[in-house]
Amino acid sequence: MSRRDSNWYVPADWLWRFGMFLIIPCVALLASILLPVIARLKTADIAALYFSGVAAGVLGVLLLFIARLPLYRARRFWTLGPRQLDRKHRRYYWLAYMAVTVSLLLLWIVWLRTS
């Protein structure tokens, strides 16, 4: 009998239960962080929301430029997606899209509050 880790057998229902014990506290932690932030958006100053949305958008565009810089140096300007990027620049790519998404969300909230 071998004592290698790869020979372990864990039933699927145990994995599911273990996953639930991890997922539920993570969702609770995320909700405890996000719900006060969402509640504060209702009373926040519109100018602060606007400038933070613009700042997040500028940060996203800057990160996207940094992420695609190796492709620009290789004179590949019209490639789509992060498929041809290395791991480090792929992370910058997705971080840039997250910043742009946050920017659009904040600017949408400003638009809803002013109209």
Whether 68 and 26 map to the same domain: the answer is: no
Whether 112 maps to a domain, the answer reads yes
Whether 82 and 70 map to the same domain: the answer is: yes
Residue range(s) defining the domain that contains residue 53: 45-115
Contact 97, 79 (CB under 8 A): no
Whether 1 maps to a domain, the answer reads no
Residue 13 has what pLDDT? 75
**Residue 7 DSSP class:** G
Is the pLDDT confidence value at 16 over 80? no
Q: What is the number of alpha carbons within 13 Å of residue 30 lying toward its C-beta?
A: 6
Backbone angles phi, psi at 37, to 5 degrees: -65, -45
Whether 53 maps to a domain, the answer reads yes
- CA–CA distance, 62 with 54 (Å, rounded to integer): 12
Contact 96, 67 (CB under 8 A): yes
pLDDT digits (tens, 9 = 90+) for 42-73: 788 899 899 999 999 999 999 999 999 999 99
Whether 69 and 104 map to the same domain: the answer is: yes
pLDDT digits (tens, 9 = 90+) for 66-103: 999 999 998 988 888 888 899 999 999 999 999 999 99
